[in-house]
Amino acid sequence: MTWVWTNRDLIVGLTAQHLLLALPSIVLSLLLAVPLARLTLRAPAARRLLLGTSSVLYAIPSLALFVVLPGVLGTGILDPLNVLVALTLYAMALMVRTASEAFAAIEPDVLLSATAQGHGRWQRFVAVELPQAGPAILAGLRVVSASTLSLVSVGALIGVQSLGTLFTEGYARGFLLEIAVGIVATVLLAVALDLLILGIGRATMPWAGIVQRAGAVA
Amino acid sequence: MANQSLPRRSLLAGLTLAPLLGACSSSDPFASNPAATGSGTSGAGGPVTVGSANFPESEIIGELYAQALEAKGRTVQRRMQIGAREVYLSALAEGSIDLIAEYTGNLLGYYDKSATPTGADEVAEALAAALPAEFALLDIAQAEDKDSYNVTAEFSTKHGITSLADLAGYPGTLRIGGNPELAQRDYGPGLVGLTRVYGVPAERMAFTPISDGGGPLTIRALAKGDVDLANIFSTTPAIKEQGFVTLEDPKHLITPQNVVPLVAKAKLDDDLASAINAVQRVLTTDDLLAMNGRNAGDEKAQPRQIAADWLKSKGLV
Amino acid sequence: MIAALAQWFGDASRWAGADGIPQRLVEHLAYSALALAIAALIAVPLGLWIGHTGKGERIVVLLSSGLRSLPTLGLLTFLVIVLDVSLGQVLIPVTVVLTILAVPPLLAGCYSGLQAVPREVVQAAVAGGHSTTQVVTAVELPNALPMMIAGLRSAALQVLATTSVAAYVGLGGLGRYLFDALGVQDYTKMLAGALLICALALLTDGLLALLQRLLTPAGVRLERARNH
């Protein structure tokens, strides 16, 4: 345990790096996936393409994507941007599907009555569709947040520092405590972020006692 | 529902994820993070980005360089644990790092696969000639860490094997453990080298790649008899602790591997050279053994601390 | 790049031997199948029990999301060291890690599948004199099967992509190509490995999707068609 105290700066620093990679990916995936899912909802071909692409993406091993991206993006091979883009892609792959299903699940009658009340298309989206799909999207976001946080570590294999560095370093010298610290820190981050997302959900969607149930299915 | 779709929307059918993400990648969320922008640093005299390979000793030496530079007032960025040689040399070439600790023999082998010098001086000379124009070497240290093939004492006695030259006469299939690169590279002390130099038939070698840089799993595999032969860095304290027998290398498959700083020429200046060379002048093989011992042994000290202590003990900071 | 890949796949030596594609493919499938089988042994009974009784759902949800946040690489290196396994036994920690990955989606598929069976249907079966076992096997299970397969699809997709880490600790599988390529920056081999893993995952997913359709009871299919 003295090791943990002696190296607290290292651990805190790596935790910050970890968050710096995960948070933008999670937020970006939400900001990109929700409009994409909604826009393609009534265009079956586009929707199929979107969902198909996301399945394919999800099946690509992360290590390979990290290594190949510099060639696609023109970034340096050590650029953390490679990891960030890859994580965003994976998060989107999950998010797009959840969001698409959430929008599709809205009862047509609800939409019709909104239109009948004179809501414009944008108004209807903001005032009706988003609140209706919100709980399911939020549940999806929780899954995305947990899996993204755990995926960041793989970047350590290509020299992008995160809590994953504690795994590769610990492995190279058979140091259990170091690896354990990395695992515990990752799980703590996941719990904290999950609570944050839940909190935001409760504050913005007080009607969603459904949040709990939707979370159960995802 | 389908009849609600307007023709305008079908344009989206052509939309894929790639262009969108391409667009968002141009705004760099890491711009404020100095560690991420190695390629943007200016020329000589400016900040230096120190890299390391993905094994502890490389990071320790990297820290020695980094802190020696910091002691001279230079701004240093660190990119440690990058990967294997092929990866960090690409990083050096593209400017993501400026300086990294290398080993003479293997670096020479990388640039000149047919090189056959045996003495440390010959290696140094050949390396200087083979090096790409945009890279430069600083002074070569006395300290050396090379690949070494090890067997257990029991295996050595039982089969009378004390030298790599004895391996060709081993009757069965040799089970070998080590880094994946040993089976992938066509230069250096890998499987290809064992065949070429010592005549061990390729079909009588069974290789298990272990990605821990000759670390605990490799050592355990040898100790437990999962492999007969393991490639472990010679400055690993466990070789002595476990009583392994390091096989002799009479035909010089493994070339001298002295520690040498490899620098991007564009970043080289006198101050940088003198700070690093001061480290190079005093660094010994025993120092490497001792520092690796602190890192992997009970203390589990971090490279940064180990380097700081060593530099202080040598009066370099 | 395409030409290099074509050349890589065209090389006859890639299709034979210990490092050949068939061998790596079989290893990859074997590691994955083993983990999925163990995960199913744990998740299916547990999921059915939860779905049937409605008990313990909250705990399982909490546990599932906890498991999901465990970093695979960390867990694997931790287990390899803590179990003090020899090279021959390294499959044990690999299987544990992959099983942990597969349990949450399988579990969710099972209990949400059972919960989705309309209560009236179950009540009708009970009223009709079916025993608990009969209710589960004859009514709940067939109706829940499509969602259970959906859980299996999600688990299989994740496991097949993640089995690559086996190569990090000295095992084979298609991940071997990734880790071997990583060390020497062999982009072609890296891409080839990724393509193979991706293709395997998608093919498996396609087959399971087909199975999912076939296993959906005709009545349920009809009902769904009417609702949409």
**CA C47, C53, C56, C61: dihedral to nearest 10 degrees?**
50
B78 domain-assigned: yes
B216 domain-assigned: yes
pLDDT of the residue at C80: 92
Q: Domain boundary at B246, B270, B293, which? A: B246
> Is B23 touching A (CB cutoff 8 A)?
no
pLDDT tens series, chain A, 218 aa: 789 999 999 999 999 999 999 999 999 999 999 999 989 988 889 999 999 899 888 888 899 999 889 888 989 888 999 999 999 999 999 999 899 988 988 888 888 888 888 888 888 888 888 888 888 899 899 989 998 999 999 999 998 999 999 999 999 888 999 999 999 999 999 999 999 999 998 888 877 654 444 444 43
> What's the structural domain count of chain B?
2
Q: Domain boundary at B198, B222, B246, which? A: B246
Q: How far apart (Å, rounded) are the C-alpha atoms in residues C1 and B316?
A: 49
> Is C180 touching B (CB cutoff 8 A)?
yes
Would you say B66 and B275 are in contact if contact means Cβ atoms under 8 Å apart?
no
C-alpha pair distances (Å), B168 with each of B172, B244, B312: 10, 20, 48
Paired strand residues for B230: B150, B177
Q: How far apart (Å, rounded) are the C-alpha atoms in residues B50 and B76?
A: 7
**Pairwise CB contact (< 8 Å): B209 & C179:** yes
Q: How far apart (Å, rounded) are the C-alpha atoms in residues B105 and B254?
A: 8
pLDDT of the residue at A117: 85
Q: Does residue B138 share a domain with residue B266?
A: yes
Q: How far apart (Å, rounded) are the C-alpha atoms in residues B6 and B14?
A: 15
**Pairwise CB contact (< 8 Å): C169 & B185:** no
Burial of C104 per CB tally in 10 Å (0-12, 13-18, 19+): buried
Mutate: best of C86, C178, C188, C189, partner B, most B CBs <10 A = C86
Q: Does residue B126 share a domain with residue B262?
A: yes
The alpha carbon of C77 is separated from its chain's Cα centroid by a whole number of angstroms, namely 21
Q: What would the mean pLDDT of C83-102 be, rounded to a whole number? A: 91
- Indicate the residue type of A29: S
Q: Does residue B28 share a domain with residue B118?
A: yes
Residue B159 lies in domain: 147-246
Q: Does residue B123 share a domain with residue B10?
A: yes
Q: Does residue B266 share a domain with residue B131?
A: yes
In the numeric block, which tokens belong to residue B110? 């990388």
Q: Domain boundary at B246, B270, B287, which? A: B246
For chain A, counts of helices (H) and of strands (E) = 11, 0
What one-character DSSP code corresponds to residue A125? I
Q: Does residue B17 share a domain with residue B118?
A: yes
Paired strand residues for B262: B100, B137
Q: With cut-offs at 50, 70 and 90, classify the pLDDT of residue C219.
A: low
pLDDT of the residue at A17: 95
Look up the CATH number of the domain holding residue B186: 3.40.190.120
Distance from CA of B297 to the nearest CA of C (A): 15
B251 domain-assigned: no
Q: In this model, does residue C4 exceed pLDDT 70?
A: yes
Q: How far apart (Å, rounded) are the C-alpha atoms in residues B159 and B166?
A: 9
> Is B216 touching A (CB cutoff 8 A)?
yes
> Is B242 touching A (CB cutoff 8 A)?
no
Task: Tell me the chain C residues in contact with residue B204 when contact means C-beta distances shorter than 8 Å.
Answer: none
B290 domain-assigned: yes
Q: With cut-offs at 50, 70 and 90, classify the pLDDT of residue C67.
A: confident
- Kind plus residue range of the DSSP H or E element containing B233: strand B229-233
**Strand ranges in B80-220 using DSSP code E only, listed in sequence order:** 99-103, 135-137, 147-151, 174-178, 205-209
CB-nearest to C205 from A55, A64, A156 is: A55
Q: Does residue B16 share a domain with residue B133?
A: yes
In the numeric block, which tokens belong to residue B121? 């001086």
Q: Does residue B132 share a domain with residue B58?
A: yes
Q: Does residue B216 share a domain with residue B265?
A: no
> Is C82 touching B (CB cutoff 8 A)?
no
Q: Is B155 helix (H, G, I), strand (E, B) or coil?
A: helix
Q: Does residue B107 share a domain with residue B55?
A: yes
Q: Does residue B237 share a domain with residue B298?
A: no
pLDDT of the residue at B27: 36
Q: Is B207 helix (H, G, I), strand (E, B) or coil?
A: strand
In the numeric block, which tokens belong to residue C97? 């890690």
> Is A58 touching C (CB cutoff 8 A)?
yes
Residue with tokens 């294997």: B84
C-alpha pair distances (Å), C127 with each of B73, B111, C54, C121, C132: 85, 81, 20, 10, 11
pLDDT of the residue at C129: 85
The alpha carbon of B291 is separated from its chain's Cα centroid by a whole number of angstroms, namely 16
Paired strand residues for B175: B206
pLDDT of the residue at B15: 35
Mutate: best of B176, B218, B224, partner C, most C CBs <10 A = B224
In the numeric block, which tokens belong to residue C89? 């036994």
B273 domain-assigned: yes
> Which pTM was predicted?
0.86
Q: Does residue B136 share a domain with residue B25?
A: yes
Look up the CATH number of the domain holding residue B283: 3.40.190.10
Task: Mark which residues 177-216 of C lie under 8 Å from A by CB.
Answer: 178-179, 181-182, 187, 190-191, 193-194, 197-198, 201-202, 205
Residue with tokens 């031997």: C17
Q: With cut-offs at 50, 70 and 90, classify the pLDDT of residue C168.
A: very high
Q: Which 3-state string (H, E, C) describes A136-162?
A: HHHHHHHHHHHHHHHHHHHHHHHCCCC
pLDDT tens series, chain B, 317 aa: 333 333 333 333 333 333 333 333 333 333 333 333 334 445 667 899 999 999 999 999 999 999 999 999 999 999 999 988 989 999 999 999 999 999 999 999 899 988 888 888 999 999 999 999 999 999 999 999 999 999 999 999 999 999 999 999 999 999 999 999 999 888 888 999 999 999 999 999 999 999 888 888 899 999 999 999 999 999 999 999 999 999 999 998 999 999 999 999 999 999 999 999 999 999 999 999 999 999 998 899 999 999 999 999 999 98
Q: Which residue has the higher pLDDT, C206 or C57?
A: C206
pLDDT of the residue at B53: 94
pLDDT of the residue at C222: 63
ipTM: 0.87
> Is C178 touching B (CB cutoff 8 A)?
no
B174 domain-assigned: yes
B1 domain-assigned: no
For chain A, give percent helix, strand, coil, nearest 5.
85, 0, 15
